[in-house]
Chain A
Amino acid sequence: MLLLLFRLSFLSFFPSLSLSQHFAPTGTKPHHRISVSLNFKQRKQREEKRRMMMKLDTSGLESFSAAVPSAMAAAEDQLFAPPSFDLPAGCADFDKFQMEAKQTLKHAKGTTTLAFIFNQGVIVAADSRASMGGYISSQSVKKIIEINPYMLGTMAGGAADCQFWHRNLGIKCRLHELANKRRISVTGASKLLANILYSYRGMGLSIGTMIAGWDEKGPGLYYVDSEGGRLKGNRFSVGSGSPYAYGVLDNGYRPDMTVDEAHELARRAIYHATFRDGASGGVVSVYHVGPNGWKKLSGDDVSELHYKYYPVQPTPVEHEMVDAPPA
């Protein structure tokens, strides 16, 4: 009896409270508080009702006019009807939709870049393809960014993100030079970038970059990404084609290579990555960073490299569907 009265009174409140009900959090207790010790069964029923009332709460969130009983609806419509609309299809779960939207902007780092330190300095190499899903949007993207005459950064991930933040880093490095009357170290520059990217963590930036340069301590190479990671190392490759590049790079690497050997190794590694990976291609650019700054060594079209490394020969057909020979 008690419970029935309780429910009726709640419903009578509902139309006039409908506005506040919109914004009431789902877990709040209703106004009436009956402090009576209830047995287990009554407590269970209370809980169920509360859960049902919580359901009532959320139903009000769907559409303003739907929540209001029909008697009031006509009047309410003319007076209060806000511009109500159906959420777009696929938006029933808004959090998932937002996650998917961020996912589409994530360019999945379709590229191949690599950099390694050896006795004569740092070699930096990259391909030049930009892809949007399956479509090739450009075959001539500059993925090695010149931060200043003695430091280079590579681009992997979102092109806009990389271009903007590398330019920003160049500005900060120049300001450091002016303020301290000496060049910034590679350690310092990579730390500046890593700290900026860490502060934007989780907001959807997509950057996987390597900062390579030559400072007072000699050659320096750091890997910095948009998750906020920063690693010091001797050999790195970043992007969707990196497994293929690592295979060639790790096999041919020696610390005591000449500049020409290192150049050829980097070019070969990127070429093999462009062959196997669909999201890498275009032109291989190779740079060398020495004590006097960086210098671009070559920019070769990957397709021409293929026919140079593997000239055309008549190849035996491996898979051919043939008819069964007649009996």
Chain B
Amino acid sequence: MSIFEYNGSALVAMVGKNCFAIASDRRLGVQLQTVATDFQRVFKIHDRLYIGLSGLATDAQTMYQKLVFRHKLYQLREERDMKPQTFASLVSALLYEKRFGPFFCQPVIAGLGDNDEPFICTMDCLGAKELAKDFVVSGTASESLYGACESMYKPDMEPEELFETISQALLSSVDRDCLSGWGGYVLLVYAALLTPTEVQEKILKGRMD
């Protein structure tokens, strides 16, 4: 088993109508043994920007701490939050800094940009950005996730429908992977008309085997 399959993970982000959703599994394992079933993989950078990190769990946590540090410095200097596109470039640069001894994690970035335009992108462990208009996936269950998302995705979904779709895609994909699953976590962010942004966090009841 490779280093990316040491802890096991599944991440997916999808774009809807003025909203996005990012979902992950909740398992932390040591190869085949399950150690925790409430492991956090999706982290908040600011109200309208979230990052999910799959792959080796220790590198995911370290990457997150480095990114929060850099973003706080940015906030102090620029007196505003980072745009998702800028943040993606930052992540890519940080990953490529370690080109010959990389962090073994694959980020999935999701955020709301200017004019409440949803933005998602993923990267490999060296920082190669892949922008997408519909969905991005990452983790040990990524191949199953590609299949599930491709068949279930429709453009311009409303928030409730987007939540349903991403949950079903995640749960059905991790049911085909030994190393991820044991529950799901979905975060849905949409730019509503009255309130600035609404965030919904839900924990999914999945197969626990």
Contact = CB atoms under 8 A, between A and B. Distances in A.
B195 to A, nearest CB: 22
B178 A131 contact: yes
Interface stretch (A16-24, A178-186, A226-234, A314-322): A314-322
Contacts of A127: 209
Given A279-B32, A282-B209, A306-B208, A318 B38 contact: yes
Interface residues of A, number: 31
Nearest to B178: A278
B1 A278 contact: no
Contact of B40 (A274, A307, A320): A320
B159 interface: no
Interface stretch (A71-79, A98-106, A133-141, A187-195): A133-141
A79 B40 CA distance: 69
B115 interface: no
B184 to A, nearest CB: 13
Interface residues of B, number: 27
A135 B178 contact: yes
Contact of A135 (B177, B207, B209): B177
A321 B53 CA distance: 14
B64 interface: yes
A319 B29 CA distance: 15
A189 B179 CA distance: 38
A138 to B, nearest CB: 10
A295 interface: no
A303 B208 contact: yes
B178 A279 contact: yes
Interface of B: 1, 5, 8, 29, 31-34, 36, 38-40, 43, 61, 64, 68, 140, 175-179, 205-209
9 contacts: A133-B1, A136-B178, A277-B32, A281-B178, A281-B207, A317-B38, A318-B38, A319-B39, A321-B43
